[in-house]
A and B are shown apart, each in its own frame.
Chain A
């Protein structure tokens, strides 16, 4: 019997596909998310919009919050650690969370290195803005990738940019003649071995979700249209006027992303989405997507 294998780690992400993972800060919110059809929840102390507003250093959530949320729901529970924070990751692994997000939403703990995720039995998801970043995270052991987007803004433009970048670079890689692959590996800053795996596989060897700025059912469906395997919604649910209704509508839109009749129906009468932020209004050093490398 083997545990903690790559197949088990990537396998759980495969089971989450076509689903919505929702940020929650209390057991009550976790239950609302589960009732609405979330396939997993992300246990947090604050949603990204509040982290952005609060400023200062954002860290792993208090274990008591994570534990209470784990007790409240039957779906998988994820939680975030700071980039490179080995100890926070060990704590969450000990608590038994089902997935760890090594996340740029929190303040990085290491300015040079991400975690060696091979070293853990618990699987990790990491953000990526482009193929090089995605493959570097996979090389470190990430079993799931997501776009970074710009968290807490309710503005989907950055997530769109990131998924278009990744899929565009994938198309390019798949079309290259053999002799040009090593040069492209150098350009991307990613291991040649992984580029070859992508070419054999016809795509990334792990699931790729959308995250960062998704706030309406139409946003979720858009990201699925653009080739994402599933959706993370951070502030979009519990910063909206009617969280239960938004949650349910975003789940329906993710399943039926190709069906405009369903999308029109579920978008109707939802009330106000979370307030949005124009990206240019955020100073470059305040942009979470710039964290990590």
Chain B
């Protein structure tokens, strides 16, 4: 029998339970992360085969990540190749640059692992939140996508693979991206019954686990 994957879900705030349930349905073992497990550079997070950064409020999560000294350990894990998956606020935390709805650069704590600039609340406020369906390359032909006060990628590096786009105020912009071990979605697969996005991430985790390099510990 294959050993189940052990996934950490950041549980500072937001929809972490929804991710947990979906990952468990996909056969993974899940542990919630609220603070580092030890004081090493990886904070004990090296025990995981992948980490999910859920949706929630990115301002709140960024602040709590800083207060609870989780920013550096997460960044180290990401740099060493551990698969990370961020949805909505989680995607914002992954990006190198964050801008406000008006295009002004914001300074908020983040991991900077994804070579992309992301715009917060790109479609407007809650009243403009929407659901739609589109293909996500490599994941599914008909992904139900729930956008809640959602961000969008406004520009990204050549290493970033765009998996899906959606029409925004300024034409089609990326809403699902992958750069090596880092996966991000501007929408919420965890709010649907569709497990394919999580299965795609777990596949990344499985491949990494099977060829996992020593993390220098």
Contact = CB atoms under 8 A, between A and B. Distances in A.
B191 interface: yes
Contacts of B149: 12, 15, 76, 98
Interface of A: 1-5, 7-8, 11-12, 14-19, 34-40, 74-76, 93, 96-99, 121-123, 251-252, 255-256, 259, 262
B131 A15 contact: no
A36 B60 CA distance: 8
Interface string B26-38: 0000000011000
Contact of A15 (B35, B56, B63): B56
A255 B148 contact: no
Contact of B89 (A5, A15, A37): A15
A275 to B, nearest CB: 28
**Those 8 A-B pairs whose CB atoms lie nearest each other, nearest first:** A98-B126, A18-B13, A39-B57, A19-B13, A8-B129, A37-B63, A39-B60, A1-B132
Interface string B13-27: 111111000000000
B131 A75 contact: no
A251 B64 contact: yes
A141 B59 CA distance: 29
A217 to B, nearest CB: 14
Interface of B: 11-18, 34-35, 55-57, 59-60, 63-64, 67, 88-89, 100, 106, 120-121, 124-132, 146, 148-149, 188, 191
Contacts of B121: 74
Nearest to B98: A74
Given A14-B18, A17-B13, A3 B130 contact: yes
A2 B132 contact: yes
B24 to A, nearest CB: 15
A99 B124 CA distance: 14
A220 B125 CA distance: 28
Among A1, A15, A96, A121, chain B packs the most CB atoms within 10 A around the CB of A15
A254 to B, nearest CB: 8
B34 A8 contact: no
B57 A16 contact: yes
A3 B34 contact: no
Contact of B60 (A11, A37, A98, A121): A37
A224 B107 CA distance: 31
Contacts of B188: 11
Contacts of B59: 34, 74-75
A15 B125 contact: no
Contacts of A3: 127-131
A126 B141 CA distance: 39
